[in-house]
Amino acid sequence: MPRLRPYPWLLAAITVAAVAAARSVVRVEVGGSSMVPTLLPGDRVVAVRTLATRVGDVVAVADPRVASRLLVKRVVTVHPDGSVEVAGDNPAASTDSRTFGRVAAGGVTGRVVWRYWPPERRGSLARGERAALFAGGPRG
């Protein structure tokens, strides 16, 4: 049986790809009820940093009031400078752009694409589903 020779370049490429993927994915736990019914308190989601943000997307953003904290909200407006206005799907329970204004483009951590916890609710947040859930435009 022939012995497989290791290919150092292949191992290096796989390592670089794994590191790049790990840096582009952020895990977030939903802490409140601002995104009900789309996301429930305790849901755990994955946000991808490299994806473009559009109106209707669910995103993880840096809380402008506490930089170390991430918020999960829906994009209601994307401005030419890349900044966004965000709102919760449950406006009565949401602190969002109505309170803190626009979020700078650099404050958008990533687009939420997958719920991995709890297991019975695991699955993707497909772009079509997100757009269908967000039918009303900005909330006042």
Tell me how far apart the alpha carbons of residues 51 and 11 are, in angstroms, rounded to a whole number.
Answer: 26
Per-residue pLDDT in tens (0 to 9) along the chain, 140 residues: 566 666 666 555 565 555 555 568 888 999 999 999 999 999 999 998 877 889 999 999 999 888 789 999 999 999 999 899 999 999 999 999 999 999 998 889 999 998 989 889 888 886 544 444 444 444 43
Report pLDDT digits (tens) over 88-122. Answer: 999 999 999 999 999 998 889 999 998 989 889 88
- Whole-model pTM: value is 0.75
Tell me how far apart the alpha carbons of residues 48 and 24 are, in angstroms, rounded to a whole number.
Answer: 6
Tell me how far apart the alpha carbons of residues 35 and 48 are, in angstroms, rounded to a whole number.
Answer: 18
Number of H helices, E strands in the chain: 3, 7
Domains of the chain with bracketed CATH:
26-133 (2.10.109.10)
Interacting residues of 111 by C-beta distance below 8 A, sequence separation 6+: 47, 48, 51, 52, 53, 57, 58, 59
Angle at 67 between CA 63 and CA 73, to 5 degrees: 20
